[in-house]
Amino acid sequence: MNSIKLNIQETYIKEYLALQKRSDGRGLTGFRDASLNINSIHTADGSSVIKIGNTAVVCGIKAELGIPKAESPDVGYLLVNVELPSLCYKKIRPGIPCDEAMETTSFLNEVCNNCKILDLQQLCICVDKLVWILSCDIYCLNYDGSVLDACFVALLSALQTVKLPEVKYDKETDEINVIEDYKFLKLNCLPVASTFGVFNDKYILADPTEEEEQLCISKFSVVTDGNLLFSLHKPGGNYIKDNQIQNCVKYAKIRAKTVHELIKSVQ
Amino acid sequence: MPTNLYRFQGPEGTIPYQHYLIDKNNTKLTKIATALMKNERCDGRDISAHRNLCIKTGIVTQAKGSAYVEKGHTKLLCSVFDPKEVPNKVEYAKTGELQCEFKFATFSCRQRRNYTRDSEERQLCNEFRRAIEPAVCRGEFANFEIQVNVLVLENDGSVLSTAITAAGLALMDGCIPMYDMIVASSLGIFKNTILVDPTYDEETLCLSWTEDEENRGTVMLAYMVSLEQITEFSQNGSMDINMFPEYVQLLIDQNCKINKLVQSAAITDVIGHFESQTTD
Amino acid sequence: MENKIICVPGQRLCQVDATHTQGKGTYKRQDYIYSSVAGIVNVDDSNKISVIEVLSKDKTIVPAPGDIVTAMVTTINQDMCKCLITSVCGHELNETYRSSLRKQDVRTKEIDKIDMLQCFRPGDIILARILPMTEAHTFKLTTAENELGVVIACSEYGFPMIPISWTEMQCTKTNVIETRKVAKIVQEKKTAENV
């Protein structure tokens, strides 16, 4: 968007917000409708496609066998990577991942480690010799704001579809036997992220679209599973008031419940 | 293996567990081969039948034009963007450039793919660019570049031909001036059987090496139907030279069939747009 | 929607002859007009020759020499200023294109007396015409016409200004007068630019 257009958009959005409405018809704290689809990619061991409004994200998980880290021989790997390919947004150029992709990746990994989304011990097959490596790759297909929210839902629902076969490992002969007895993974919790944009200090917009994200000077995310708060991330930008944060946490809690229902409904 | 600083990566030398189900994989190929001797295909299709196509345009709202194409289990997404200035360019060019990116999602194939572009992706990217370049009126955006991106979500054979068809639709959706719609299809040749639109397993079978000198391989042809022009023809494997006219004719026939679907998708796209405009 | 012809790229529309000529969204090949985009066929009969054109949902336009463009001034020095083209012939672009406006192209008269800083400021929105290409990749602009020049500008204090003469603009809040190369806005253009 060029600066002239941005200027026009800003006045336009201001007039809307004065009426407590947004250009797509939502209220200030309304989230967009989401739809979820699982197991649509057959080459992956687990997959899901989520659409929140126009934002679309696909997550595919590949399970592989490998050697564990020397410092933690009894845990497997859960590797989460977010890709923002150049096809999803005009501002992204092909080549190395952009800053935002890396930032989202590290944030996701941090939260996954913090809240022990998965007991990594259950990925261990033989201590110090063989563990499962779950590579979760999240590709954004359409960048229309609040990609982080979509990434969380995609990751969780994809993890829930992963089925791992039983693996027998012979310590003496190094022989690996795969028995086709598939088991689901056990997830400890389902963290749900909710992104809010801060516009003009005054307005808090839930689940901003790309257009709104451009105009909001700062945005922040609340990660919660409905009971526990896992992360509240507000990287700089405009100030917000204490009670505004309190309200947002409340909205995030309700959001988490609806997302849980959505995930449950597709299984 | 070079370390990748941009992503979280696991240890080196990982093995997919499917590797240990190898007996199953081998029997799968022989099963397909024996079935083909009886002119039967594993998915129940006729040998000359194309898989069902599912076309959706305008999926990526952030792009100028986009198309999602699903052919059997092969799924891919293509998007195009506005003409941009070519960075660090010194010379003046009379025709615009197409900047293509052809990427497999890491989970799109049997074996997990790497994040960085490998030689296969580079090769496919070049073939892809060459195939769609003649269809675009490049003189209308001289000295600029248009970005065309393809992301393969699932690879179940005939990726390149599906990608070319998708690109034609995405360019149409983005209203990039084009001389003609472009479509592509592929054949797999195994002994004397010609398989239309081979799946991944069939492709593997057609390209696997055997001692007896028999016809085997894959051919792909990109075609502009109204202008009756071939933009790209690629062949892999070894096959009888006298059979080529037959292959080309068969591919052109297939392309004409696909073109009908593509055109009806294009027409629905236009109708949908203008109807929503009149109701506004 | 009924009695309209929908076409796809590559569709032959009609023959080129004395009464039919190609318009937007079409190309000519061997005496025939073909469509190059998907859309609705429109025949413009307003002149003697009917123009065959295709109306599509979106356009792919890049700036070309001779076009009138809207641009935003980004940087200024003694000899030239750099601008970003944001729309061409009233069509808003999604991408911006770099361009430059040299001192000698600001106006037709008294070229040697021009001080760039008296004519433009960063952030000003100007109307300009693209000159024929001389360099490989940047467009050269000119405002050497009465109708071309600054159309929207803000004063030093950040308030919008209105033109009061062809060289001056006045701030709406502080009444400060600043100098600019002001465009003489023709009524018709004004409505087009205020969208």
The C-alpha atoms of residue C130 and residue B278 are separated, in whole angstroms, by 35
Segment 32-71 of chain C within 8 Å of chain A by CB: 70
Q: What is the pLDDT of residues A76-96, one digit of tens each?
A: 889 999 999 999 998 888 888
- Which residues of chain C are within 8 Å of residue B65 when distances are taken between CB atoms? 58
Question: Looking at chain A, which subunits does it touch, using at least 3 CB pairs closer than 8 Å as the criterion?
Answer: B, C
The C-alpha atoms of residue A17 and residue B209 are separated, in whole angstroms, by 67
Mean pLDDT, residues C159-170 taken together: 87
Q: Looking at residue A250, what is its pLDDT?
A: 92
Residue B238: other Cβ atoms inside 10 A: 12
- Which residues of chain A are within 8 Å of residue B7 when distances are taken between CB atoms? 81, 97, 105
C95–chain B Cβ distance below 8 A for any pair: yes
SS3 content of chain C, % helix, strand, coil (to 5): 10, 45, 45
Q: What is the pLDDT of residues A176-190, one digit of tens each?
A: 888 888 889 888 889
In a mutational test of the C interface, the residue from B147, B178, B227, B271 whose CB has the highest number of chain C CBs within 10 Å is: B178
Q: In what order do the strands lie in the sheet with C32-35?
A: C12-15, C32-35, C26-29
In a mutational test of the B interface, the residue from C2, C53, C57 whose CB has the highest number of chain B CBs within 10 Å is: C57
Mean pLDDT, residues B148-153 taken together: 94
Segment 45-64 of chain C within 8 Å of chain B by CB: 56-60, 62
C97–chain B Cβ distance below 8 A for any pair: yes
Between B37 and C36, the higher pLDDT residue: C36
Candidates A62, A58, A181; CA nearest to B110 is: A62
The C-alpha atoms of residue C87 and residue B63 are separated, in whole angstroms, by 19
Q: Looking at residue B154, what is its pLDDT?
A: 94
Mean pLDDT, residues A202-217 taken together: 88
Q: Looking at residue B146, what is its pLDDT?
A: 92
Do C38 and B270 count as a contact with CB atoms less than 8 A apart?
A: yes
- Which residues of chain C are within 8 Å of residue A4 when distances are taken between CB atoms? 70, 72, 86, 125
**Average pLDDT in chain C:** 85
- Which residues of chain C are within 8 Å of residue B260 when distances are taken between CB atoms? none
- DSSP code string of chain B: ----TTS----SS-EEGGGGGHHHHHHHHHHHHHHHHTT--TTS--TTPPPPEEEEES--TTSSEEEEEEETTEEEEEEE---EEPTT--S--SS-EEEEEEEE-TTSSSSPPPSS--HHHHHHHHHHHHHHGGGB-GGGGTTEEEEEEEEEEE--S-HHHHHHHHHHHHHHHTT--BSS--EEEEEEEETTEEEES--HHHHHHHHS--SS---EEEEEEEEETTTTEEEEEEEEEE--GGGHHHHHHHHHHHHHHHHHHHHHHHHHHHHHHHHHHHH-
Do A2 and C125 count as a contact with CB atoms less than 8 A apart?
A: no
Query: A7 to chain C: nearest residue by CA?
Result: C123
Q: Looking at residue B252, what is its pLDDT?
A: 94
- Which residues of chain C are within 8 Å of residue B140 when distances are taken between CB atoms? 60, 62
Do B151 and A85 count as a contact with CB atoms less than 8 A apart?
A: yes
- Residue B165 and residue B261 in contact, taking contact as beta carbons nearer than 8 Å: no
Asked if residue A264 has pLDDT above 70, the reply is yes
Contacting C with CB below 8 Å, chain B residues are 64-65, 82-86, 89-92, 137, 140-144, 172-181, 224-227, 263, 266-267, 269-271, 273-275, 278
Band (B5; pLDDT cuts 50, 70, 90) = confident
All domains of chain B in start order, with CATH = 42-86+94-279 (3.30.230.70)
Question: Among A3-12, B266-275, C127-136, C183-192, which range has the highest average pLDDT?
Answer: B266-275
Band (C188; pLDDT cuts 50, 70, 90) = low
Q: Looking at residue B279, what is its pLDDT?
A: 65
Q: What percent of chain A has pLDDT over 90?
A: 43
Q: What is the pLDDT of residues A110-125, one digit of tens each?
A: 998 888 888 888 898 8
Q: Looking at residue C192, what is its pLDDT?
A: 45
Between B265 and C192, the higher pLDDT residue: B265
Segment 122-141 of chain C within 8 Å of chain A by CB: 125
Q: What is the pLDDT of residues B14-40, one digit of tens each?
A: 888 887 876 666 788 888 888 888 888
Interface A–C counts its CB contacts (< 8 A) at 15
C-alpha distances out from residue B103 to A25, B77, B78, Å: 36, 10, 10
- Residue A187 and residue A117 in contact, taking contact as beta carbons nearer than 8 Å: yes
- Which residues of chain B are within 8 Å of residue A133 when distances are taken between CB atoms? 10-11, 14
Q: How far is B134 from chain C (nearest CA, A)?
A: 12
Q: What is the pLDDT of residues B166-181, one digit of tens each?
A: 999 999 999 999 999 9
Q: Which neighbouring-strand residues pair with B195?
A: B188
Q: Looking at residue C191, what is its pLDDT?
A: 46
Mean pLDDT, residues A240-261 taken together: 91
Say which residues have a Cβ less than 8 Å from residue A136's Cβ, sequence separation at least 6.
A59, A60, A61, A78, A79, A80, A81, A155, A158, A159
- Which residues of chain A are within 8 Å of residue B66 when distances are taken between CB atoms? 87
Between A58 and B28, the higher pLDDT residue: A58
**Average pLDDT in chain B:** 88
- Residue A70 and residue A117 in contact, taking contact as beta carbons nearer than 8 Å: no
Mean pLDDT, residues B227-249 taken together: 90
Do C97 and B85 count as a contact with CB atoms less than 8 A apart?
A: yes
Length in residues, chain B: 280
CA contacts within 13 A on the Cβ side of C125: 18
Exposure pattern of B148-163 as b/e (b: 16+ CB <10 Å)?
bbbbbbbbbbbbbbbb
- DSSP code string of A60-92: EEEEEEEPPPSSSTT--EEEEEEE--TTS-TTP
Contacting C with CB below 8 Å, chain A residues are 2-5, 90
- Which residues of chain C are within 8 Å of residue A90 when distances are taken between CB atoms? 94-95
Interface B–C counts its CB contacts (< 8 A) at 104
C154–chain A Cβ distance below 8 A for any pair: no
The C-alpha atoms of residue B247 and residue B252 are separated, in whole angstroms, by 9
CA contacts within 13 A on the Cβ side of B66: 22
Do A5 and C72 count as a contact with CB atoms less than 8 A apart?
A: no
Mean pLDDT, residues A19-31 taken together: 87
Question: Among A28-32, B29-33, C191-195, which range has the highest average pLDDT?
Answer: A28-32
Query: A60 to chain B: nearest residue by CA?
Result: B107
- DSSP code string of A202-234: TEEEES--HHHHHH-SEEEEEEE-SSSEEEEE-
Q: Looking at residue B1, what is its pLDDT?
A: 44
